[in-house]
Amino acid sequence: MAIEFDTPLNLYRANVGLALRIVGFGHDVRQQACDLEMQRIKRDVAALNATREATIRAREWSDLASSYQAALRDYMATTTNLWQQALVSAARQQTAHSDGMRDALAQWQSAWTNNWHRSTGIDPVSTPLQDWFQRLEQLVGGALDGRGPAARYVATNLPSVGANGRGPQGEHHGG
């Protein structure tokens, strides 16, 4: 008996939802980057205006030097604040992106595996296929949570990658 496979609308909805979620994350990152860039531009304009005003109002070199120092101090304080905001933003984006992608992939997986369960449960001959899909679902679910066999394999067997994108220093390869 042939299994008639008919793709329900939920699968298409899950695919579109996953794609839109990814696009939404990209949009949020761009939005926050543009906000930070706008703050940098405002900082630079304020520093230029302060320098111009200091130059116009200065009567002596010491007045000019003290005005420049005050402008530089404000510029550096604003720059430090912007760097802190950028680091906090990057950390939040990374956390939100990983949590959102885990949820989106779990929903996507659920939509696809529910369809496979429905299609494999029709025929008693498909019992081995049904077992295989259950194992696949457990493997993917565990990998998404970081607790499955695939996650353990990656954690124990793959070399760690440093900040420079290379493996640990001192490794010697035969050759």
Q: In this structure, are residues 111 and 14 in contact, taking their beta carbons and an 8 Å threshold? A: yes
- What is the amino acid identity at position 51? T
Is residue 117 classed as helix, strand or coil in its secondary structure? helix
111: in domain: no
60: in domain: yes
45: in domain: yes
126: in domain: no
Task: Indicate left, alpha or beta for 174 from its phi (over 0: left) and psi (-120 to 50: alpha).
Answer: beta
Split into its structural domains, the chain has a count of: 1
110: in domain: no
pLDDT the model gives residue 138: 74
Q: In this structure, are residues 47 and 67 in contact, taking their beta carbons and an 8 Å threshold? A: no
| Dist. CA 79–CA 77, nearest whole Å | 5
pLDDT the model gives residue 99: 85
8: in domain: no
For 165, counting Cβ atoms within 10 Å of its Cβ (0-12 exposed, 13-18 middle, 19+ buried), the class is: exposed
| Tens of pLDDT, residue by residue, the chain (175 residues) | 455 555 667 778 888 888 888 898 889 989 999 999 999 999 999 999 999 998 888 889 888 899 899 999 999 999 999 999 999 988 888 888 888 888 888 887 777 776 655 554 555 555 666 677 777 777 777 666 666 555 565 556 555 545 455 555 555 555 4
pLDDT the model gives residue 108: 78
Q: In this structure, are residues 137 and 109 in contact, taking their beta carbons and an 8 Å threshold? A: yes
pLDDT the model gives residue 17: 83
44: in domain: yes
pLDDT the model gives residue 79: 93
Q: Which domain holds residue 29?
A: 18-98
Please provide the DSSP assignment of 120-174 as one string.
HTS-GGGHHHHHHHHHHHHHHHHHHHT-SHHHHHHHHHSPP--TTSS--TT----
127: in domain: no
